[in-house]
Amino acid sequence: MNLASAILVLALSTARDVVAFTPSTSTKRTTAKITLFDHNQALSNDESSSIRSKINNPFANFCATAAMTAMLWGSPAMIAEQAFQHPPTSPIVQMMVDKSSSIANAKEKASGTGSRVNKDPESLLRLGLPIKNKEVRSLQETLENIKYDIGSKRKSAAIDGAKKSKNMLGGKQAEKIAIACQTPKTCTEYMKQMDEELDPLIEAMKASEDAFTGSDQEREALDKAYKAQEKVVDLLTKLEEQMIPPGYETPVPPQYSDLPQLKRRAKVEMIVKKGQSGAQFDINGVNFPQAKMIMVIDGYTAPVTGGNFVDLVNKGFYDNMKIQRSDGFVVQTGDPEGEAFGYTGGTPSKSIGAGPHGERLIPTEIFVRGDKGPFYETTIEDEGRGGEATVLPFSAYGAMGWARDEYDPNSGSSQFFWLLFDSDLTPAGKNVLDGRYPCFGYVVEGSDFLQDIKEGDVIVSAKVTDGLQYLKQP
């Protein structure tokens, strides 16, 4: 038995269900909590009560972490073996999977494959746009690398990257980008603005070179460079959105037409306050009376999941709802008061049916990079494609996933989670969430608040601030 296996056995024997879907002892209903480990049988009420107490037990949390680490640090062969333990059944829907494209992309593995995990949610959202243009992707890579160079004080490299980007924005590469846009003139203007914003970035980096290491002058210059780089990549996002084919919609099987669908992207603002009166959020030693987070919900990658979430936000479903789980791995909510474990106000889908208390259910929705659209009602392992890259990976702090029952891919309703991503627990290429749960968006502002959002804190408001017009109701 190797070290990883030994750690896994020890940890599972102590806290095998800390991160599992567990029956709630207070309401005797299923509280969907994401699961990383399979179990041989259902838990009794006594067992679930014991497990519930372990969630807040530091030693149990340590064991859960050790178990996950052991699993993730196992060999690729072990991961592959787990992926193929259960051969593909006959899924209700096997839709839009382009097999030849799948083979062509076989070497593009799960999120984080390579020397550096892409943890930037804005970058991941850009990469998730339905565009194919190698020139703009090359420009994107160069511009995004500047951010890493600034952060690591690789000043010469940052300057070189900025100069290289200016050359791209002024040559034949820019012409090829503009031609691929819906309105070439608009893209040309965006690229002109990007070129202009790179000048203060270069100036700031040169000023940081002239400053003493660690001085206030150096820090001020680097801050200016950061802000300039942010302006450039914000323009890059607008540029790439212009390259989406006119009228593009991610294909969704017709049997899900009776569920809300998000046709593009939307922004959601959520305000969370402490459950205890007068308490504040402590973020790196600074207190805040409330947590404000901005999330981008991606209808290009997860039209059904994203549509369900935006619909519930717009209905006020999450207003005044408590956070129901915060264990250092995820922050989770969406379980309403009463017997029902999900949303019961809508009409259930005919193809999926209703939950035991009339919950509107949605299917698991997985979009693998290289496919023409998502597949439904099954997981990436069940499809025999374990390890392939999903369009939106769980590789950013604040990645948003849809919770469901461990053994039922069609049991999601209203519960979702934010992943507290840690690259130490998710080594490159071994993210066990990709393809098992739908990733439907990211927190793009305020993700630091997740570190101090605890069970019992309250979502005082959630609202759609942009993109509501892209929500298509049944």
Domain shared by 282 and 231, yes or no: no
Domain shared by 302 and 405, yes or no: yes
The answer to whether residue 194 is domain-embedded is yes
Helices (H), 171-302: 172-179, 184-210, 216-241
> Range of 42's domain?
3-74
The answer to whether residue 84 is domain-embedded is no
Domain shared by 303 and 427, yes or no: yes
CB-based contact 277:104 (threshold 8 Å): no
Domain shared by 193 and 291, yes or no: no
The answer to whether residue 121 is domain-embedded is no
Domain shared by 152 and 265, yes or no: no
With 0.85 as the threshold, say if the pTM is over it: no
**Local confidence band at 80 (pLDDT 50, 70, 90 cut-offs):** very low
Domain shared by 166 and 222, yes or no: yes
The answer to whether residue 87 is domain-embedded is no
Domain shared by 314 and 397, yes or no: yes
Q: Which amino acid is at 139?
A: L
State pLDDT tens for residues 321-365.
Answer: 999 999 999 999 999 999 999 999 989 999 999 999 999 999 999
Domain shared by 304 and 432, yes or no: yes
CATH of the domain at 467: 2.40.100.10
Query: How far is CA 8 from each of CA 14, 36, 66, 73, 403, rounded to the nearest angstrom?
Result: 10, 12, 7, 10, 24
**Local confidence band at 427 (pLDDT 50, 70, 90 cut-offs):** low
Q: CB neighbours (10 Å) of residue 426?
A: 25
The predicted pLDDT at position 393 comes to 94
- Cα–Cα distance, 58 to 107 (Å, whole number): 39
Domain shared by 204 and 266, yes or no: no
State pLDDT tens for residues 104-113.
Answer: 333 344 444 4
The predicted pLDDT at position 424 comes to 65
The answer to whether residue 170 is domain-embedded is yes
Task: Using alpha carbons, select from 342, 210, 320 the residue that is nearest to residue 271.
Answer: 320
Domain shared by 359 and 459, yes or no: yes
Domain shared by 304 and 429, yes or no: yes
The predicted pLDDT at position 199 comes to 98
The answer to whether residue 248 is domain-embedded is no
CB-based contact 334:65 (threshold 8 Å): no
The answer to whether residue 110 is domain-embedded is no
The predicted pLDDT at position 282 comes to 97
Tally of structural domains, the chain: 3
The answer to whether residue 356 is domain-embedded is yes
- Cα–Cα distance, 278 to 424 (Å, whole number): 35
